[in-house]
Structure 1
């Protein structure tokens, strides 16, 4: 009898031990006691993660601010071209320095024209297509002049009529004209011409007569003004 009781006691003890082991396996990890080293490691990991997240957030914020500043600093002429170029009702002409180099390789009897082709870097033209309704709703002159840093330019010629404003502006660097800007806006049509390079006003009117590009005819007004002077 005592032997059977002892065997039963051993079985119960083994069973309870197995149950304790099972319970320990089922216990969630966060219920295990942590020593100080484990807690320090966990804190360091959390601090590293938070630091990385903060660095990424700051980087994204700086990129966003830089993008906004870049957009705000765009030249009004560039902004106007981006706004209307290629859209219905507008004519856009872009002539690069490569095209001018091709012109300069042509043999002509006009040395002044050849010199002009060699000195120009680019011509950009944006104009409305004689659309009365379109000209009622937009005005290149107003859009450009309200944002243009006028202090960087010198007025060459101004034409003001009842429903039309035209202005010729030049920008100089070290005594040389590097940009000629024509802005026209009103009911009679809207046009913007930007010419960059080493510009000689004596020859600039030749562009209209020689290249036959729509929009350049306004440059002949410079020649007329020069003859009056």
Structure 2
């Protein structure tokens, strides 16, 4: 019995790491499937990309210095897209409830058949630690960005990345966002 308790105690940190964000299962379910475009940009590649940004584009360099990782998954196949709704799947799995409980809801809108939700986990200094964009409906896109990002700069990120779903960032009203402890 003592060994079992020690084993459980040792495995506890790994269990919490496995639940890093409520949308992970969608990335795991759809990444690599036919008709699905998925991109995972790790910190090292983002750091390396800063060297290729023109010196005159200081905003892009600053944004890249604040981002640790970017993951994007979008349904490109029309038939598959008609059968899938990221928002509905996340709601059915309880992930939307987890996001609403643990993240700040920055934007929620229905736009031409698409449900768009933008969630952020923010620190006490009003920096975004994690940004999640969910687009479900006619277009299905899920974006997860981690780092320590300035909210004012992150709204400009869509102009730099040109990634589906990122255009929703321009809707953020930074004055209405409150800090989450």
| Matching of residues 51-130 of structure 1 within 5 Å | 70=15, 74=19, 75-106=21-52, 107-130=54-77
Per the alignment, residue 105 of structure 2 pairs with: 155
Q: 1:162 to 1:111 in 2, by over 3 A?
A: closer
Per the alignment, residue 204 of structure 1 pairs with: 154
User: Which residue of the other structure, out of 128, 135, 142, is the alignment partner of 1:192?
Assistant: 142
Rg larger in structure: 1
Higher helix content, 1 or 2: 1
Paired positions, count: 162
Residues 59-96 of structure 1, C-alpha deviation per residue, up to 9 Å, x if partnerless? 6xx78xx79x949x633211111111001110001111
Higher strand content, 1 or 2: 2
- Using structure 2 for the length normalisation, give the TM-score: 0.75
Q: Displacement, 1:104?
A: 1.9
User: Which residue of the other structure, out of 159, 169, 173, is the alignment partner of 1:222?
Assistant: 169
- Using structure 1 for the length normalisation, give the TM-score: 0.61
Per the alignment, residue 179 of structure 2 pairs with: none
Q: Which runs of 5+ in 2 are unaligned?
A: 177-181
Judge conservation of contact 1:204–1:219 (CA < 8 Å) in 2. Answer: no
Q: 1:211 to 1:166 in 2, by over 3 A?
A: closer
CA distance in 2, matches of 1:224, 1:161: 12
Judge conservation of contact 2:37–2:73 (CA < 8 Å) in 1. Answer: yes
Q: Which protein has greater RCO, CA pairs closer than 8 Å, 6+ apart?
A: 2
